[in-house]
Structure 1
Amino acid sequence: MSRFGMYVKVTAKPGERDALVEILLEGEAAMQAMEECELYIVNVSDTESDAIWVTEVWNSPEAHRASLDHEDTKASIARAMPLIAGVESTTIRPVGGKGLRFRYPLRSLEKVLPPHKTGLPCKPTIRSKRS
């Protein structure tokens, strides 16, 4: 089963970024109770004063969708909406890296990435000893 992730850029209305960050961080407490949520990070931009980036990784797209039906999530969204000027999101499929435990060996990455992208040798290398 593939993981599901999102990068979400939330643009706050002018002067509302900090209040919106607080609401998003309150959501982190609910995420702790959801085993299916593997990563939930709220970031602020140093170059865009109203921008907030949220990084999420879930064990499946279904788990993410189900999280939106939780009462805590619905309440947080309702409180956040008046503070939001815009939202952009990109869905992602995490395949490796530091910070997440992956349940498959590195070699299985060949199924999702070409060999030159995995860092694995493309062909077996035979080295001979020279005398």
Structure 2
Amino acid sequence: MAYAVVCRVSAKPGRREDLVEHMLRVAAALEDRSENLSCLVATADDDADAVWTWELWATREAHDAYLAEASTDPATYGLAVSGRELIAGMSPVQPLTVRGGGGLSG
């Protein structure tokens, strides 16, 4: 069953667009991973600092393997931490089990 992770990241004041650009680079890097089915980056019109991310993975294990790699692989880790200076805070990451819906096969 597919696995999703949703998170709200607060950009430092005036830095939301910089954070969006950074998160889009992260999303583009995930396109090379066959087990990453989707990575969306979104903003809300009524919150000038919030950036929402939605990652969809084939399995929880695939996501966990990515996190383990990100903690040791310099390229992956570097991309992840290079955006830290843009972040004011994060909501707790919300892991979800995807039960179905449009765009999912099987």
- With normalisation by structure 1, the TM-score equals 0.71
| Kept in 2: contact 1:13–1:50 (CA 8 A) | yes
The percentage of counterpart residues that share the same residue type is 34
Q: What is the distance in 2 between the residues matched to 1:16 and 1:67? A: 27
Give the Cα–Cα distance (whole angstroms) in 1 for the partners of residues 20 and 2 of structure 2: 25
Aligned length: 101
In the alignment, structure 1 segments of 5+ residues that lack a partner are 104-131
Larger relative contact order (Cα-Cα within 8 Å, sequence gap ≥ 6): 2
Instruction: Flag the structure with higher strand content.
Output: 2
SS in 2 for 1:7: strand
Q: Which runs of 5+ in 2 are unaligned?
A: none
Once the two structures are superposed, the pairs formed by residues 56-95 of structure 1 within 5 Å of their partners are 56-68=55-67, 69-70=69-70, 71=73, 72-88=75-91, 89-95=93-99
Structure (1 or 2) with the larger CA radius of gyration: 1
Instruction: Please give the TM-score of this superposition, normalised by the length of structure 2.
Output: 0.87
RMSD of aligned Cα (Å): 1.3
Aligned to 1:5, the other structure's residue is in SS state strand
